[in-house]
Amino acid sequence: MVIGFGPCGIFVGLVLAEMGYKPIILERGKEVRDRTKDTFGFWRNRTLNTESNVQYGEGGAGTFSDGKLWT
């Protein structure tokens, strides 16, 4: 079982499938299309959906990232 469908969860699921396993992947949030609506709703209207936002959902936080890491 894989928890999370961010970059690592996607990769681990792929590797397990290539090895012949049938991984079960659990994700807390929504698919990217629905997450995009919820995320832009927060950015524009400040309406936070606690189950579907930048952090939770298919693709993880990197879905809305430009690829740069900041500390």
Which pTM was predicted?
0.66
Band (pLDDT 50/70/90 cuts) for residue 58 is confident
- CA gap 23, 67 in Å, rounded: 27
Residues 25-46, mean pLDDT to the nearest whole number: 89
pLDDT in tens, 11-35: 999 999 999 999 999 988 888 888 8
